[in-house]
Amino acid sequence: MILPALFFYLFAGACIASAFMVIAARNPVHSVLYLIFAFVNAAGLFVLMGAEFLAMILIVVYVGAVAVLFLFVVMMLDVDFAELRQGVLQYLPFGALIGVVMLAELLLVVGAWVIGPGVPRAITAPIPADITNTEALGRVLYTKYIYYFQAAGLVLLVAMVGAIVLTLRHKAGVKRQNIGDQVARTRDTAIEVVKVRPGQGL
């Protein structure tokens, strides 16, 4: 029992420290690296809880895609962060006010939070011994919550299409494919016979 507790405090402490360094680091590249480190420690906590599927998703999706994408964007874009930091102090009182309001709301929510009587029984519902954690999660996700799952997929699809439409820019003078013209072309439009006089080029 001592070894899991030691690993829990190790992962939790490293996760909290790296999360603090995400907002405290001056270099944005270092912030993204600390964010990746926080995700890895959070995945370790999921493994300790027996949720290996969530740990794998956290590593594959967030670390392998989102955080690495942030890292490449920050490294490839030549952003003058010193210029962005100018004038930050004038917004400090307003930001501090928003922080105090959010802290008060969190304290009110946590202080008034009461666990329902049926929640512990639902959480401790035994998983059949002949299936894995991933299969049990899939059965619940694709049976009881299938409509919510499909709705979330549609929302993400609309967001992806919207982002593509908003960022798509057509450059002038660039030849693009026209499917209608390609399908409707004939021999006369596809081939041009040119008579070349001897000793002269096209």
In tens, the pLDDT along 126-168 reads 666 777 778 888 888 888 889 999 999 999 999 989 888 887 7
In tens, the pLDDT along 40-92 reads 999 999 988 888 888 888 888 888 887 777 777 777 766 666 666 677 778 88
Q: Give how far Cα 156 sits from Cα of 68, 121, 140, Å.
A: 20, 33, 21
Cα separation, 96 vs 191, whole angstroms: 71
Q: pLDDT band for 103, please (50, 70, 90 cuts).
A: very high
Residue 120: predicted pLDDT = 63
